[in-house]
Amino acid sequence: MSKHPNTDLLSLEPEGLVRALESHFRQRDQPVYRIGQVRRWLYEGLSASIDEMTDLPLSERDALKHFFTLTQLEKARVEVSQDGTVKHLWRLSDGEFVESVLIPTKKRLTLCISSQAGCAMGCTFCATGWGGFQRQLTAGEIVSQYAASRRWAEKHLGDTISNIVYMGMGEPLSNRKAVHHSLSILNQGYGVGARRITVSTVGVVPGILELAERPEQFRLALSLHAPISDLRLRLIPLEKRHPLPEVLSALKRFNESGGKRITFEYTMIRGVNDASELIAPLADLALSVGAYVNLIPFNPIPYQNWESSEHHRIKDFAKNLQRRGVPAAIRETRGQDIDAACGQLRAHTLVQLEGSREREH
């Protein structure tokens, strides 16, 4: 008879973890403090294996291994950019790959994590989108990117991670159950403040509404890229299903749910979405939901011949938005020499592993 698949301790929300361990240790006549021991190994010790839990008797480690697992991320590659950006390529247990990126700045160490292997959204400017969708990540696979990256950062950079952004591969709000669990685990388990965690979405309305209902003040980034529907449709196929006005009313709900911050991500593509006439509608949208605007130079990708807007044009956009009362900043591109920039994740690996595969659009 085949054994029931073991529960992954790292995929359980902290409350669920305590419940599962309570019942496990009760059945084994073990003291309650065993729960705290395991919890500490996971969330403070950043453990990647039950064998590391050395203050548990060997027999208890064996029993835990019999009923539970811990997500294993195998480090397939680490690349360090000249500017200090660090990209990890992780191999998942079934051979899929995902990436996460550590981005050090003066005051912060931000980790960019993936929520899916690939992405089904097919945005025309994004390398992950061109690679197609492989599968959802489990909550354990999402939070393990944090635990493993933090272990790496503490060892090699002598620093810990201060902020997390769901801006790696995948559309987090298309993997809602695992992403919600991962948010609880990062916040209540590992203790990362909700305001230091940003979920980035291309506009999955039901997901935005669900996030608005959560009591924690997780931040939301909307990948806007165009302030009018016609143009947005050229860049983001989801615009057809969830057009801008619908996204906007979801953002209003999010905004009204109290103390939550919204950012617009606007990737600037030369001759595509950088016309001066777009500044006024962009400003209106931002003001209507109190959003902060991040202007991002487009990172060229292998499948498109688009280029970034020129720097003076991006500066002009930023200045004009500010003049209209919209807080705006230019996000510098990081880690370009190792393809760690937004929209480039996995592109390189796919091209290397499979040859540059043209996708029909």
Residue 167 site contact among ligand SF4, ligand SAH, none (CB < 5 to 8 Å, cut-off depends on kind): ligand SAH
List residues near ligand SF4 by CB under 6 A.
119, 121-123, 126, 128-129, 170-171, 202, 223
Binding residue for ligand SAH, selected from 81, 149, 184, 267, defined by CB under 6 A: 267
Contact between residue 187 and residue 197 where contact means Cβ atoms under 8 Å apart: yes
Number of residue whose CB is nearest ligand SF4: 129
- Rg from Cα positions in the chain: 21
Tell me: does residue 131 bind ligand SAH (CB under 6 A). no
What is the C-alpha to C-alpha distance for residues 86 and 89, in angstroms, rounded to an integer?
10
Choice between 30 and 201, CB closer to ligand SAH: 201
CB of 138 to ligand SAH, least distance (A): 18
What is the C-alpha to C-alpha distance for residues 180 and 207, in angstroms, rounded to an integer?
10
126 is catalytic: no
Q: What single letter denotes the amino acid at residue 232?
A: R
Q: Which stretch binds ligand SAH (CB under 6 A): 3-11, 38-46, 198-206, 251-259?
A: 198-206
CB of 20 to ligand SAH, least distance (A): 31
Instruction: Answer positive or negative: Cα dihedral of 240, 242, 243, 244.
Output: negative
99 is catalytic: yes
Of the residues 60, 99, 141, 239, only one is catalytic, namely 99
Number of residue whose CB is nearest ligand SAH: 343
Binding residue for ligand SAH, selected from 99, 299, 335, 338, defined by CB under 6 A: 299
103 SS3 class: strand
Contact between residue 118 and residue 131 where contact means Cβ atoms under 8 Å apart: yes
Cα 109 to chain centroid distance, Å, stands at 15
By annotation, the residues acting in catalysis are: 99, 342
Residues engaged in binding ligand SAH (CB under 6 A): 125-126, 167, 171, 200-202, 223, 265, 267, 296, 298-299, 301, 342-343
